[in-house]
Amino acid sequence: MEYRRGGVVIAGIGVTDFGALPGRSTISMTVEAARKALADAGIEKRAVDAVLVKPPTSAPRLMTGQTVAEALGLQPALGMSWDQGGAAVIGMISYAALAIEAGMCRTALICFADNPKTGSAHVYSNAANDDGVFGWIGVPAAYAMIARRHMQEFGTTERQMGAIPVAARRHGAANPAAQLRKPITIEDYLALPHLVSPFRRDDCALVSDGGAAIVLMRAEDARQHGVRSPIPIMGFGLGQSSWDVRLRPELTSTMANRAGSMAFGMAGLTPSEIDIAQLYDCFSIVPIMTLEDYGFCKKGQGGHFVADGAVEIDGVLPLNTAGGLLSETGMPGMQLVIEGVRQLRGEAVLQAGRAGTCIVSSQGGIMHTHGTLIMGAR
């Protein structure tokens, strides 16, 4: 069975507010986002026969997929929770698209919510095993380790890396729903002290509460239901680098290259045919390496590619047009898919001039897992 290009569409999107949401449980935020996504798709809840959930990190527990389905009052044919870190979003989209095409279900609801900001972010600052004795603590340091190697191997500069938060903060400032709405210049960025070098605080994702959901179905079903603005899924791909940062033989490439090739092949597109990019920006080095691994530029040239406004809304490849993880919300990835859908619908707050195709990346752990999604039709 091959995935038919455009055979499955994203029919609905829904989000809660982003930021600090004290007193909201993850179940409550999931239900809100799901209700909004169903309303956006214009379909009844009982049409849903697959519920896929990325579990929260703030209070991990087993069987989240079943807890969410129960809160939604559903008994789906397919129900599961999916542990792939931030790559789970595209992992779930890939699986749901294949399951729909294979006839295992017709309408999939994919959802997520977490509250590390007002709940607990402990999972992001634990020492791993014995390495705590060396002071090897916290997620930012692990990504900074990768960024340093990229700078040492390819001459990538902090000024080039800073182009990522500068673009994200410009886009977030224009977004009323963004958690952080304060633009910065590259000089502002360079004047900041290091947090864990080579990173500054502004190289690091926000910590945020919030939930999001999307609805997938066959293109034919979307037409039959009269879905207002379905967005075709053209291709997807996955890849797992696996190795912990301290053991990974190559720090400057990941399985994003495999995930990207798979998605481009399925979509029948090349990087030059992509209008906009929503690339997981938990830390500023990640979109730079992702652009290289996807073939938008040669390995090591990502810093040059993003410098001087190339990835801002009026640049050659608008990136993270709602602010991404650095400015809109630190949510692990669903917000990037949803902004891509808005852009392709022509309904984004900061609308890109050319928005016929969009690539989305999601990644998890410390660049351990990767997913690529390509949407839109030319």
Partner 1 sequence: MAETLLPQPAETGLQAPFWAAARDGVLAFQRCANCGHAFLPAREECPECLLPEVTWESASGDAKLISWVVYHRAFHPAFADRIPYAVAVVELKEGPRLISNLTGIDDLEAFRADQDLRVRFDTEGSLVVPRFVPA
Q: Give the interface with partner 1 as residue ranges (CB under 8 A).
A: 125, 127, 129-138, 141, 144-146, 148-149, 152-153, 193-199, 245-247, 251
Closest contact distance (angstroms) between CB of 247 and partner 1 is: 6
CB 141 within 8 A of CB 164: no
Q: What SS3 class is residue 76?
A: coil
Spatial CB neighbours of 70, under 8 Å, sequence gap ≥ 6: none
199 vs 294, beta carbon nearer partner 1: 199
124 vs 351, beta carbon nearer partner 1: 124
Please state, in angstroms and rounded to a whole number, the distance separating the CA atoms of residues 365 and 369. Answer: 7
Closest contact distance (angstroms) between CB of 3 and partner 1 is: 33
194 vs 298, beta carbon nearer partner 1: 194
61 vs 246, beta carbon nearer partner 1: 246
CB 337 within 8 A of CB 328: no
Q: Which amino acid is at 309?
A: G
Closest contact distance (angstroms) between CB of 139 and partner 1 is: 10
Closest contact distance (angstroms) between CB of 120 and partner 1 is: 16
Please state, in angstroms and rounded to a whole number, the distance separating the CA atoms of residues 82 and 51. Answer: 11
Whether residue 232 has a cis bond before it, omega within 30° of 0: no
Q: Which amino acid is at 188?
A: D
Instruction: List the beta bridge partners of residue 115.
Output: none
Closest contact distance (angstroms) between CB of 192 and partner 1 is: 11
11 vs 146, beta carbon nearer partner 1: 146
Closest contact distance (angstroms) between CB of 190 and partner 1 is: 15
Closest contact distance (angstroms) between CB of 364 and partner 1 is: 20
148 vs 345, beta carbon nearer partner 1: 148
148 vs 258, beta carbon nearer partner 1: 148
Angle separating helix axes 334-345 and 88-101, nearest 10 degrees = 60
Spatial CB neighbours of 145, under 8 Å, sequence gap ≥ 6: 245, 251
Please state, in angstroms and rounded to a whole number, the distance separating the CA atoms of residues 249 and 339. Answer: 34
153 vs 220, beta carbon nearer partner 1: 153
Please state, in angstroms and rounded to a whole number, the distance separating the CA atoms of residues 69 and 49. Answer: 10
Instruction: List the beta bridge partners of residue 212.
Output: 15, 112
Closest contact distance (angstroms) between CB of 248 and partner 1 is: 9
**Position of tokens 């939930």?**
211
Supply 330's token pair. 């630190």
